[in-house]
Chain A
Amino acid sequence: MLMKLLSGDAPRSRVLTVILMAILFCLAFAPFLFPGVRSVDTAARICVFILLVASYDLILGYGGIVSFAHTMFFGMGAYGVALACTHMERGFGALIVGASGGAILAALIAFLIGLFSLRVRAIFFAMITLAVASAVAVLVSQLSGLTGGEDGLTYKIPRELTPAFRFGKETFGGEILGVKTNGRLLAYYVVFTGALVLFLLLLRIVNSPFGRVLQAIRENDFRAEAVGYRVISYRTAATCISAAVAALAGALYAIWLRYVGPDTALSFEIMVDILLMVVIGGMGTMYGAVIGATLFVVAQNYLQGLMGAASSAVEGVPILPDLLSADRWLLWLGLLFILSVYFFPTGVVGRLRDGK
């Protein structure tokens, strides 16, 4: 039963299994284990990013294609929900319309980009996605009438998912283990369940015949073509699926935040974050997404503070405080990223599997 859920793709390392179970356990019961606005927020962010990174791993790790438009697809889902909630009647219908609209648009655009770039060379895809994603980011900030520009959009999601909605007063007194049973709790479980189901779906996809062909293409596209697989079709299909799932992750994020803006849904920094998570976790493993996203989001939340402390500790020394300042977080991430690609290309998951 469990193996069936995982599509037969076991973690294949005892340590990894334990870590994954621990993460699953923590996320599943996060509101009860770590009550508090900030920590539940972190847990939701981890759920969303696990899904987002896993969808990116589908094209990078399994397909061998670098895309810089993944944030754009993520943003399409987020803005889809935001726009639907702004312009439609408040309710779950708006969420569904927004999420599916964003996902369809993302898949369509991925298809078009793939059509133009993948038939020539896979590296075109990287360049063209970067160009298109930047153009879209600029467009979103220009079309402020529709998208709210730099300020973004704030909107109302169904009342059942907001803190104002309370339930279960009669049955269990409005509290479970000291946690208030309100709409926010429901919203968290919408995010968690959505991410879990879609992650298992991705796992199913990479372990299907389709996923195996994709990996064969990554290893040697020339041979895969010679054997008779239509390389372009497979790669394009993978980018479309990946884009659609990224958009759904964006939709979940929009439901959780009740706000979208360029910084939370479109910025290039999110793209860098995704790249880092997938490389650190381990490309082409899916479970790497879980490890990478969890490590990264936790580190981002707590390490930046640590860097700030380190920076003030070395005050007076030339340049060092600037290097260690929390604003220079990206500098160290960049270094870590380069070193991981060189020395750690299989990521945490690869290492754990090698070491059993």
Chain B
Amino acid sequence: MSAAPEHAPTMARANLAERIAPWLPMLLVPLVMLTGLILIPSGSSWLTLTVSGLAMGMMIFIMASGMTLVFGLMDVINFGHGVFISVGAFVGVSVLLMLAGMTAAPSLFLNLLAMLLAIIAAALATGALGWAFERVIVKPVYGAHLKQILVTMGGLIVVEQLIIVLWGPEEIYILRPEALKGAVTFAGAALEKYRLVAVAVGLALFLTMRFVLRRTKIGLIVRAGVENGEMVEALGYRLRLVFIGVFVAGSALAGLGGVMWGLYQEVITAHMGQQMMILIFIVVIIGGLGSVEGCFIGALLVGLLQNYVAFLEPKAALISNIGLMVAILMWRPQGMIPVVKAK
């Protein structure tokens, strides 16, 4: 053990600086919440807004996570990602409408079961669509960003139009399942039940994703592949297959997020995914393209800020996100958690 001590000091120095830096973005979330608490006059309004901000953030995260991973892993930028949100919402809502008996019953169990079925159907449909999208639209343009942007945008338009062909051009209104309607009162604040469920589902998905990425071999391959895909292949892993898997999983998550978002808004349109893409882009850019943690923090920031600002100054809500993006890019041009890329 002769070499070790002599290198130890270098380690420790690098550690200190590097340990603190990644935590800074995470501190932003409580910081924004605290600022909200100071600016918003009533504590109960603050709590309501915070919960809805977190709920919104979680749903955005679910929808955005696939896109950031797909980019990190294969440098593929999918402008059509939003279409999985729309397709997921339409499939899920169709299932819920078919299961009207279950959603209208005042039984939490039946309601959740119906939602679960809708989510599974949506995830399966968008997963399959994602696979087809990858094979047909994305695969021929690996490695060419300009064409990727153009072609995936084209894919988005085509699938959006197909939704209209299949489901008609009108928006569809949907009621939440019986037991998820209304709100619970906590510390004088009305907290919508559905938002609490959304927070729980989002958190569970984030933790699951983190677990898979940190603790399983496939997660190791994905994380290593984001940094240096060539080396992962040189070790003997077929990164293309892993990538297709991630693409399909990311599409399925977007579809799942689409159902949840549809129920949150209680209305769905073919363009909803395209509209969500704006927030998703902001989130993945400020998070750091390719970083799941960054995407999570970014989504929460966007959700919270949007809700606080909408309460304080409604017209500035949308601009607030652009402002957030500008501020973060001024601080860290590569996003909050920049992804290390091997040369």
* Direct interface between A and B, CB < 8 A: yes
Q: Quick check: B281 and A319 within 8 Å, CB to CB?
A: no
Report B122 CB to chain A, min CB distance, Å. 22
Asked if A127 contacts B285 (CB within 8 A), the reply is yes
| Cα of A132 to Cα of B282 in the assembled complex, Å | 10
Q: Identify B285's interface contact among A124, A139, A331, A345, CB under 8 A.
A: A124
Q: In the complex, A322→B166 CA distance in Å?
A: 8
When the two chains form their complex, are residues A345 and B147 in contact, meaning their CB atoms are under 8 A apart? yes
B164 & A135 in contact (Cβ 8 Å cutoff): no
Are A331 and B318 in contact (CB-based, < 8 A)?
Answer: no
Which residues of chain B have C-beta atoms less than 8 A from A322's C-beta?
A: 165
- Nearest B residue to A121 via CB reads B289
User: Is there an interface contact between A275 and B158, defined as CB atoms closer than 8 Å?
Assistant: no
Residues A119 and B333 in contact, CB atoms below 8 Å apart: yes
Q: Which residue of A lies closest to B322 (CB)?
A: A135
Q: A116-B329, A127-B285, A322-B165 are known contacts. Are A337 and B146 too (CB-CB below 8 A)?
A: no
The residue on A at minimum CB distance from B155 is: A338
Docked-complex contact A139 and B319, CB < 8 angstroms: yes
Complex-state Cα separation, A138 to B141, whole angstroms:
33
Contacts of A42 in B (CB 8 A): none
Interface residues of B in 173-214 (CB under 8 A from A): none
Q: In the complex, are the beta carbons of B319 and A331 less than 8 A apart?
A: no
Closest to A138 in B: B318
| Cβ A131 vs Cβ B149 within 8 A | no
User: Which residue of chain B has its CB nearest to the CB of A338?
Assistant: B154
Interface residues of A in 328-349 (CB under 8 A from B): 328, 330-331, 333-335, 337-338, 341-342, 345
State in angstroms the CA–CA spacing of A331 and B322 once bound together: 31
Contact indicator B150/A66 (Cβ below 8 Å): yes
Q: How many whole Å from A177's CB to the nearest CB in chain B?
A: 43
Q: Contact residue range for chain A?
A: 35 or more
Please tell me if the beta carbons of B161 and A334 are within 8 angstroms of each other in the complex.
yes
Contacts of B162 in A (CB 8 A): 331
Question: With an 8 A cutoff between CB atoms, is B102 at the interface?
Answer: no
Shortest beta-carbon distance from A113 to chain B in Å? 10
Once A and B bind, how many residue pairs between them come within 8 Å at the CB atom?
99
The answer to whether B161 touches A328 (Cβ under 8 A) is: yes
Q: What size tier do the contact residues of chain B reach?
A: 35 or more
Q: Do residues A272 and B157 form an inter-chain contact, with CB atoms below 8 A?
A: yes
Choose among B149, B169, B277, B281 the residue that contacts A66 (Cβ–Cβ < 8 A).
B149
Compute how far the CA of A335 lies from the CA of B159 in the bound complex, rounded to whole angstroms.
10
Per the bound structure, the CA–CA distance linking A60 and B325 in Å amounts to 24
Q: Is A135's CB under 8 angstroms from B319's CB?
A: yes
- Write out, one digit per residue, whether chain B residues 312-334 have a CB within 8 A of any chain A CB (1) or not (0): 00010011011001100110011
A116–B331 alpha-carbon span in the complex (Å): 11
A142 within 8 A of B: yes
Contacts of A279 in B (CB 8 A): 150
Which A residues touch B165, using CB under 8 A? 319, 322-323, 328, 331
Whose C-beta in chain B lies nearest to the C-beta of A122? B145
Tell me which residues across on chain A come within 8 A of B128, comparing CB atoms: none
Q: How far is the CB of B325 from chain A (nearest CB, A)?
A: 7
Q: Does A15 contact B (CB under 8 A)?
A: no
In whole angstroms, what is the CA distance A328 to B278 when docked?
24
Contact of A131 with B158 in the complex, beta carbons under 8 Å: no
Q: Which residue of chain A has the shortest Cβ distance to B152 in the bound complex?
A: A338
Which of A134-185 touch B at CB < 8 Å?
134-135, 138-139, 142-143
| Interface residue B137 (Cβ < 8 Å from any Cβ of A) | yes
The residue of chain B having its C-beta at the shortest distance from the C-beta of A218 within the complex is B146
Residues of chain B within 8 A (CB-CB) of A139 are 318-319
- Closest residue to B319 on the A side, CB-wise? A135
Distance in angstroms between the alpha carbons of A342 and B158 in the assembled complex? 15
A124, A333, A341: which contacts B150 (Cβ < 8 A)? A341
> Given A123-B145, A135-B322 in contact, is the A342-B278 Cβ separation under 8 Å?
no
Alpha-carbon distance A130/B321, docked complex (angstroms): 13
- Most chain A CB within 10 A, of B156, B165, B274, B322, is at B165
Q: Which residues of B contact A319 (CB under 8 A)?
A: 165
CB within 8 Å for A342 and B318 given contacts A123-B145, A131-B325: no
Partner of B146, one of A66, A268, A331: A66
* CB of A218 to closest CB in B, whole Å: 9
Q: Are B318 and A327 in contact, with the CB atoms below 8 A? A: no
A211 close to B (CB within 8 Å):
no
19 sample A-B contacts, Cβ–Cβ < 8 Å, listed by A number: A116-B326, A116-B330, A119-B333, A120-B333, A121-B289, A124-B285, A126-B77, A126-B79, A127-B281, A128-B285, A131-B281, A134-B278, A138-B318, A279-B150, A322-B165, A327-B164, A328-B165, A331-B162, A334-B161
Instruction: Point out residues on A near B: beta carbons under 8 Å.
Output: 60, 64, 66, 116-117, 119-124, 126-128, 130-132, 134-135, 138-139, 142-143, 268, 272, 275, 279, 319, 322-323, 327-328, 330-331, 333-335, 337-338, 341-342, 345
A-B pairs, 9 with minimum CB distance: A331-B161, A334-B157, A334-B158, A338-B154, A127-B281, A337-B154, A66-B149, A134-B278, A322-B165
Residues of B within 8 A of A (CB): 77, 79, 137, 140-141, 145-147, 149-151, 153-158, 160-162, 164-165, 169, 274-275, 277-278, 281-282, 284-285, 289, 315, 318-319, 321-322, 325-326, 329-330, 333-334
